[in-house]
Amino acid sequence: MAKITASVYTSHVPAIGVAWDLKKQGEDYWKLVFAGYEYSKEWQKENRPDVVILVYNDHTNNFDFSLIPTFALGMNHEFRPSDEGWGPRPVPNVEGDQKFASHLAHSVIEQGFDLTLCYEMEVDHGLTVPLTVMFGDVEKWPVKVIPLHVNVVQYPVPSGQRCYDLGRAIRKAVESYDEDLNVHIWGTGGMSHQLQGPRAGLINKEWDNQFLDDLIADPKELAKKPHIEYVREAGSEGIELVMWLIARAAMCEEGEEPVVKHRFYHVPASNTAVGHLILEAPKK
């Protein structure tokens, strides 16, 4: 049986990827950001899954405003990094897992979530920046990745509750796979940030940290938080945080306490508050 053994949460600020690619890790500004991932780079060496279900949002790089699926699963065996305006990032292509993705699609759709299935797709900073902060410079990413895109850029976007429920369905789907796979699930995006308008630059440290506390302790209650609160308190792009609920709902049974291996919060990276958590499933 496949099993989810851990979940990882991280902001996916594109400038973090650019800073890494341009080797600015040692600069005062970026040092403080990358310091938060030093533990993670060690942890991943000892805790390497076969496959990561990576929940992220495309920022109109693969999709555009002519077509934005609410939930879309990457079915291919390979995904190239998008060109976001300065050429694709110099990182490896992402290897998928077609057999496992097909099983997930089948099971999750049977449970009532009509995923869009993407047989060709490119992946943007929402997916590649989390891989970089966890794995650093590699010739080949050390895990297979199944991308799960969530629309958080064009309203109406899915509710926290819908994301939580999708996470529960993904857990069932993983556990009904008959191969012994070690699976991690990642939630990316957030934390507070607003990129445009009079409130551009908004950061809300108190709200972000309460979100982290609630995500760890009571995600079921957190799932009830309405969109308007994310946007009012964490900025227009703070809504990306609903994606973390998918990963959190999938990682253990309701009411079970995850093991908090790592927690990091830092302001700023570009316009964003960086949040990062590593939670392991309780050992049974």
Residues with catalytic function: 125, 193
The C-alpha atoms of residue 115 and residue 73 are separated, in whole angstroms, by 7
Least spacing, CB of residue 169 vs ligand DHB, in Å: 26
Q: Taking the complex as a whole, how short is the minimal distance between the CB of residue 194 and ligand DHB, in angstroms?
A: 9
Q: Enumerate the β-bridge partners of residue 55.
A: 148, 187
Quick check: 212 binds ligand DHB (CB under 6 A)? no
**At closest approach, how far in Å is the CB of 86 from ligand DHB?**
14
Distance between CA atoms of 224 and 211, rounded to whole angstroms?
Answer: 12
Within residues 231-270, the interface with ligand DHB by CB under 6 A covers 237, 270
User: Could you check whether the bond before residue 191 is cis, i.e. omega within 30 degrees of 0?
Assistant: yes
Instruction: Give the closest residue to 91 by CA, choosing from 10, 189, 14.
Output: 14
Near ligand DHB by CB under 6 A, which window of 6-14, 18-26, 88-96, 254-262?
Answer: 6-14
Nearer to ligand DHB, 201 or 282 (CB): 201
The 173-202 contact track toward ligand DHB, x by CB under 6 A, reads ----------------x---x-x-------
Q: Is residue 13 a contact point for ligand DHB (CB under 6 A)? A: yes
Task: Confirm if 250 and 170 have CB atoms less than 8 A apart.
Answer: yes
> Strand order of the sheet with strand 78-81?
94-95, 78-81, 122-123
Instruction: Compose the 43-72 pattern: x for residues touching ligand DHB by CB under 6 A, - for all others.
Output: ----------------x-------------
Q: Which residues pair with 260 in a beta bridge?
A: 279
Output the smallest distance, CB 85 to ligand DHB, in A.
Answer: 12
**C-alpha distances in Å from residue 122, one per residue of 73, 88, 154, 158:** 12, 10, 19, 22
- Centre a 10 Å sphere on the Cβ of residue 193 and count the other Cβ atoms it contains: 28
The minimum distance between CB 89 and ligand DHB, in angstroms, equals 14
89 near ligand DHB, rule: CB under 6 A: no
* Chain residues in the site for ligand DHB (CB under 6 A): 12-15, 59, 189, 193, 195, 237, 270-272
